[in-house]
Structure 1
Amino acid sequence: MQNTIGNIGLALLRIAPSAMLITHGMPKFQKIITGNLEFGDPLGIGAAPSLFLAVIGELICPILVIIGFKTRWMAVPPALTMAVAGFVHHAADDFGTKEKAFLFLVIFLCIILLGPGKYSVDRR
């Protein structure tokens, strides 16, 4: 019984935050589709590469985390994206502004450490 509850908890930990992060990645993806590559450049690699990396970290990888495919590896880009958002992009902002990025960072770090649980493609 406890193992089942733990696996349901891991599924919720994977699915809910990933679905929430997708809502941030979708507008960025739509920018790419429309050809608007204007975006911040927090790491100095250029606006377009930063936008593409943000889409990978906020849309592509969270979709794979939801289904539980290569979960630990797919949680790394969202964690890195949120680290950049919290520590670099919002560095000068108050904690309330960067708090959401830090919450996502901690959640994806937990997914990296705990894995996907039983209810995932990885465990099939």
Structure 2
Amino acid sequence: MNQELLNNLGKLVLRLGSGALILTHGIPKISRLFGEGPIRFSDPFGLGPAISLSLATFAEVICAVLIIIGLKTRLASIPLMITMLTAALYAHADDPFGTKEKPLLFFVLFLGTLILGAGDYSIDGINNNKKRSLF
């Protein structure tokens, strides 16, 4: 296999894996957002629990889907990185490292996605290839 193919397959695996795994944390937040009763969620920036939960849900659902399909991948990784650092350093600040490890691991995955981009097997990649073929 040539190196370019392997690089693009690696980016695909990174996007699909990290996006799908964080989506499993985001989907349950949707029901918390629209459930009955008061919203209980960390409020690290003083915006209120409802807004904080909305921002985390946006990152873990909408941005995760964008990463999975490879659309605006680098941009979509930023809210996820912020959410993961907030979870590790604020929501779990007093917890043992083992609890902080998962959001920190997700942070590293999304940092890698930010650096590497989506690759050719993505909507971003298809759009980039179309632009290149026009010239």
Same fold (TM over 0.5): yes
Matching of residue 109 in structure 1 with residue 119 in structure 2? no
Say what the alpha-carbon RMSD is for the aligned residues. 1.1
Counterpart of 2:8?
A: 7
- Give, in angstroms, the shift of residue 26 of structure 1: 0.6
How many Å apart are 1:38 and its aligned residue?
A: 2.7
Aligned to 2:70: 68
Verify: 1:118 aligned to 2:120, yes or no: yes
**1:29 aligns to 2:30 (yes or no):** yes
What is the rounded CA distance, in whole Å, between the counterparts of 1:46 and 1:40 in structure 2?
Answer: 8
Aligned to 2:46: 44
Identity percentage over the alignment? 44
For structure 2, the residue ranges without an aligned partner over 5 or more in a row are 127-135
Displaced runs of 4 or more, over 4 A = none
TM-score (norm. length: structure 1): 0.95
Quote how far apart the aligned CAs of 1:32 are. 1.9
What's the secondary structure of 1:122's corresponding residue?
A: helix
Structure 1 unmatched ranges of 5 or more? none
Per-residue CA shift, 1:55-99, capped at 9, x if unaligned?
011111000100000000011111110010011111111110100
Which secondary structure does the structure 1 equivalent of 2:40 belong to? Answer: coil
Amino acid at match of 2:113: I
Distance 1:98 1:66 in 2: 24
Aligned-pair CA distance for 1:35: 4.5
The aligned counterpart of 2:132 is none
**Alpha-carbon deviation of 1:19?**
0.3
